Structure 1
Amino acid sequence: MQKGNIGVTTENIFPVIKKFLYSDQEIFLREMVSNAVDATQKLKTLAEKGEYKEELGDLTVRVNLDTEKGTITISDHGIGMTEEEIDKYINQIAFSGVTEFLEKYKDNANNIIGHFGLGFYSSFMVSKKVEIITKSWKEGSKAVKWSCDGSPAYEIDDAERADHGSDIILYIDDDNKDFLEKNKLEGLLNKYCKFLPIPVAFGKKTEWKDGKQVDTDEDNIINNVEPLWTKTPSTLKDEDYKSFYRTLYPMQDEPLFWIHLNVDYPFNLTGILYFPKVKNSLELQKNKIQLYCNQVFVTDQVEGIVPEFLTLLHGVIDSPDIPLNVSRSYLQSDREVKKISTYITKKVSDRLKAIFNEDRKAFEEKWDNLKIFINYGILTEENFYDRAKDFSLFKDSEGKYFTFDEYKTLIETTQKDKDGNLIYLYATNLNEQYSYIKAAQDKGYSVLLFDGQLDVPCIQTLEQKFEKSRFTRVDADTVDHLIQKDDAPKCTLADNERDNLTAVFQSQMPKLEKAEFLVEVNSLGEEQRPVVITQNEWMRRMKEMSRYQSGMSFYGQMPDSFNLVLNSDHRLIKEVLNEAQSALSADLNPIESELKGQEARMAALNQKTEKKKPEEITQEEKDDKTKTQSTIDDLKKKKEQLISDYAQKNTIVHQLIDLALLQNGMLKGESLDKFLKRSFDLIK
């Protein structure tokens, strides 16, 4: 029997392994099984070269669970190890440069795997003792047993083993007994080893017999040794890709389409990326791409390899060239990773462009599901717009599709404002904004439909990319002002008439939560509606962007601001104004006359004191200004109250306001009920 100490210069190696070297305990099983697969593949390589001349036989890697003994055993029929190889590869941890490794990497354990082969030692994260029983493939080799209890001390002894290969026996420690549960172990094997290139068996398949599940004689093979991404695309059919997708994501809808990646220069990369049908939530769809290294599952956190916008895709990527840390769970910063990310972006862009060119009709049919990926790319990837602009589409309110250039040509002659800006009109909901869309169409304008999650957030980017262009929602202003062709017609009302008309409606505007209303008067023409509600494009856009950009949360806190526009040319508005003037003139005229006098007095007082320094203004002058301002405020309140009392009883005012609110889906509950009753009364 040989005894000795593992070749490190400190006894702290195992605490480091247990606590710092690996970020996730469960990957011990992946490391053990993938080591067994590596050993088996090496034997196959030796056989192919003619160095190993025997029959390969059954190469299945077997994982066995013994709950009574508290052990997990990983067995292979690979190349095995001699006693000298155990000493070299197991006892001498990372035999080159071991004296420096703890000191060098004590603050950044994640870098260690780039310099040291420590996969086997992950077993000590969950084990109180580990044994290796191994026999080399080399002629004349004898079986040996290596054991270690988690300290630097180890023992090597003779052992019995009929065939070449290795058994790794893990004696699970008391803190990790949950790994001795069959379901958990099978779940981990399915997660990490589902596509390993050598068959991996875990127990036997079961069948229902005599009222219970019983084992059969057939091995329970948990992996597919030739997953779809390893095959040549030309040999595969659509159903093969769909079937594989169902294997990866059993509960998902059928994908839109897929891209098969296969490159061997300047790096090795294979995989299949699927475009899923994204319904509403961006976050819930992330972390669906699985990263593999030589068919060993590594992680589904693929940021850094896959561009941010493509993390919404599903599928697999397999590359032995992606640098990984010791736990194979976090990607290191590396120029090669950037190259891979760029390649994937180009490959996806080229594929989308090809699909668009080959069958535009089919592409258009998928666009509503597809555009979230394109929009996300335009928002997050600096150069993606230049790739995507040729196959990105606009859809108008009638369901017709246009490329960016096609749509620009369509509206170029009709939708330029007086300053030469091209105005892209859009709606976000066909039903809710129907009347605004109809008004724009009647004017000869085209309206885009932006009803996707990221359509509106993309607007600012498109405005930067498009020359002299601006996007405006159809309800951002009255139809004549959406695209200002010339100077707006002047309102013919006198200032006091405008003010009184505004006050009549402003006094009756409802108090809605998180909403403010500002009443304004415009000359819109006799044929246009008497009232219309609009919302400022810039303010609404800021609020919508605040949902996606945390730095803009200030806008999200602000109430929605709406304009109630009164059409001074419409007969109903004229009637309201005339009736108000008639009903209120006797009471308002003396108030307005006195108000004008007091405002003139205040102007004179201000003029008298404006050139004086504060200390030069007398107390008498200060008192006079204070008294005059107080009188002005009282007169204004008196005027507002008179107008409000009148407007409160004016049925037409309330009906017009409610009609405008109803058009925008803002009339609900008690207010809607009052409107209905009032409407019935008016019909009578």
Structure 2
Amino acid sequence: MTTGSINVQSENIFPIIKKFLYSDHEIFLRELIANATDASQKLKALSSMGKVKDEISELRIEVEVNKDARTIHIKDNGIGMDEAEVEKYINQIAFSGAEDFVNKYKDKTDGANMIGHFGLGFYSSFMVAERVELITKSYKKTAKAVKWECDGSPKYTIEPADRKERGTEVILHVAEDSVEFLEDSKISELLSKYCKFLPIEIKFGTKTDNVPDGKDKDGKEKTKEVVSDNIINNTNPAWKKQPSKLKEEDYNSFYRELYPYSFEDPLFNIHLNVDYPFNLTGILYFPRLKNKVEIQKDKIQLYCNQVFVTDSVEGIVPDFLTLLHGVIDSPDIPLNISRSYLQSDARVKQIAGHISKKVADKLEQLFKKDRKD
């Protein structure tokens, strides 16, 4: 018998990542913001352990587009990295910094809050960029800022950087065939699709609102324009709250947040909140049925730690329940490497069974109540 090690040529990795790793090139933004979210969550975890001496300022992610320079910037003020960590987490493909962090502090922090698992998300940037820069500075007192740069080949450079503040900035120099991602409208669409419920504030540009400004000399109400940061996400969606803290109006308000063009409140809702034998949270709504029932299979959104994955939930929600609307969030649902397609296994069947039982119990409860009334 002969044994050996499989040799992977690094020159062949980037074409595979660029063409085949993810089903949609647009996922690069989701992956980079998920990384920035993990960086912020790590800092919060270390602070709670007393390992960060300075007070943590407001944690925030910023996305900027410079159409003239053909660049997209993703910035965070999270944990940052020093040169050794850049070598470890960036230069080793498929080495997950989030998973490494969870393993290191598994007795002191809740790893369920970490999004990254595969260590490939950062390299999704090369699906749309011809060159990528990463400028970062660790939270550690003595750490110096560094700049990493790569043009999509296996060669890279690392050099000192001028960054003063803790955190990381990723700069994508967008390729000719991906200039659609330099449009503000496109970035706004993707942020709304993938990131609208992430737990760290995400700023994209500014917005202008008209606010009351007293009355004029004739006694008429006046308004003035106020410019403020455009925060695109709700960091604490209803499904992450304890059911005991929510009223019916809160559930209906969240329903309208999910489906702004729905004008009727749902018939009832089911708040999922399970932590054993699997982790599952979410809110499912039973819509009011009209004479003609239209089954729409894209009304249930699947999230993984508040990151949107898909609205195709075959295997998790039985076909006869696809008229339901709402959100399911679970870090335990097995997903492929891009978190874009579900893989059917025993745990998925457990979750599907749990959802079916919860709906059946609710319908039975309503039936008995109506009989009594």
Q: Shift of the alpha carbon at 1:94?
A: 2.3
What one-letter code is carried by the residue in structure 1 that aligns with 2:243?
Answer: P
Could you tell me how far 1:263 is from its partner in structure 2?
A: 0.5
1:74-473 equivalences under 5 Å are 74-95=74-95, 116-207=118-209, 217-252=227-262, 253-279=264-290, 280-283=292-295, 285-360=296-371
Question: Percent identity of the aligned residues?
Answer: 64
In the TM superposition, what whole-angstrom CA distance separates every residue of 1:405-458 from its partner, at most 9, and x where no partner exists? xxxxxxxxxxxxxxxxxxxxxxxxxxxxxxxxxxxxxxxxxxxxxxxxxxxxxx
Amino acid at match of 2:276: Y
The CA deviation string for residues 490-519 of structure 1, in whole angstroms up to 9 with x for no partner, is xxxxxxxxxxxxxxxxxxxxxxxxxxxxxx
After superposition, what is the alpha-carbon deviation per residue over 1:587-637, rounded to whole angstroms, capped at 9, x for unaligned? xxxxxxxxxxxxxxxxxxxxxxxxxxxxxxxxxxxxxxxxxxxxxxxxxxx
Shift in Å, 1:208 = 6.8
Q: Tell me, in whole angstroms, the C-alpha distance in 1 between the residues paired with 2:72 and 2:158.
A: 20
CA displacement at 1:278 relative to structure 2: 3.6
- Cα contact 1:205–1:215 (8 A) shared by 2: no
Take 2:319 and 2:118, find their aligned partners in 1: how far apart are those partners?
31
In structure 1, the residue matched to 2:34 is 34
> 1:259·1:348 contact (CA, 8 Å) conserved in 2?
yes
- C-alpha distance in 2 between matches for 1:360 and 1:295: 39
Q: What amino acid is aligned across from residue 34 of structure 1 in structure 2?
A: A
Amino acid at match of 1:132: L
Shift of 1:218: 1.8
Larger radius of gyration: 1
Distance in 2 separating the partners of 1:277 and 1:327: 35
CA contact (8 A) 2:210 2:226 kept: no
Structure 1 counterpart SS, 2:34: helix
> Aligned letter for 1:286?
K
Identify if the C-alpha distance between structure 1 residues 54 and 325 changes in structure 2 by more than 3 Å, giving closer, same or farther: same
Secondary structure at 1:84 match in 2: helix
Aligned Cα RMSD in Å? 2.2
**Structure (1 or 2) with the greater strand fraction:** 2
1:205 positional shift: 1.4
Q: In structure 1, list runs of 5 or more residues that go unmatched.
A: 1-6, 97-112, 363-684
1:114 Cα offset (Å): 11
For residue 145 of structure 1, give the secondary structure of its aligned residue in structure 2.
Answer: strand
Kept in 2, the 8 Å contact 1:81–1:135? The answer is yes
- Deviation of 1:164 after TM superposition, in Å, equals 1.0
Give the count of matched residue pairs: 335
The DSSP-based 3-state class of the residue aligned with 2:90 is helix
Question: What per-residue deviation string (whole Å, max 9, x for no partner) do you get for residues 371-403 of structure 1?
Answer: xxxxxxxxxxxxxxxxxxxxxxxxxxxxxxxxx
Tell me: CA distance 1:322–1:354, structure 2 relative to 1, closer, same or farther (3 Å). same
Structure with bigger RCO (C-alpha 8 Å, 6+ apart): 2
Structure 2 counterpart SS, 1:147: strand
Q: 1:216 to 1:66 in 2, by over 3 A?
A: farther
Shift of 1:207: 4.1
Q: Secondary structure at the match of 2:57?
A: coil
Q: What is the 5 A alignment of 1:444-523? A: none
CA distance in structure 2 between the partners assigned to 1:319 and 1:238 by the alignment: 24
Partner-residue secondary structure (3-state), 2:18: helix
In the alignment, structure 2 segments of 5+ residues that lack a partner are 1-6, 97-114, 212-223
SS at match of 2:33: helix
Mapped to 2, the partners of 1:120 and 1:311 lie a distance apart of 34
Name the amino acid aligned to 2:149. Answer: S
CA separation in 2, counterparts of 1:246 and 1:128? 40
Report the counterpart of residue 48 of structure 1 in structure 2: 48
Counterparts of 2:278 and 2:150 in 1: how far apart (Å)?
39
Q: In 2, distance between residues paired with 1:266 and 1:225?
A: 26
CA contact (8 A) 2:334 2:342 kept: yes
Matching residue of 1:14 = 14
1:16 is paired with a residue whose SS is helix
Report the Cα distance in structure 2 between the residues aligned to 1:175 and 1:162, rounded to whole angstroms: 34
Question: C-alpha separation between the residues in 1 aligned to 2:95 and 2:357?
Answer: 42
Query: What's the CA shift for 1:84?
Result: 0.9
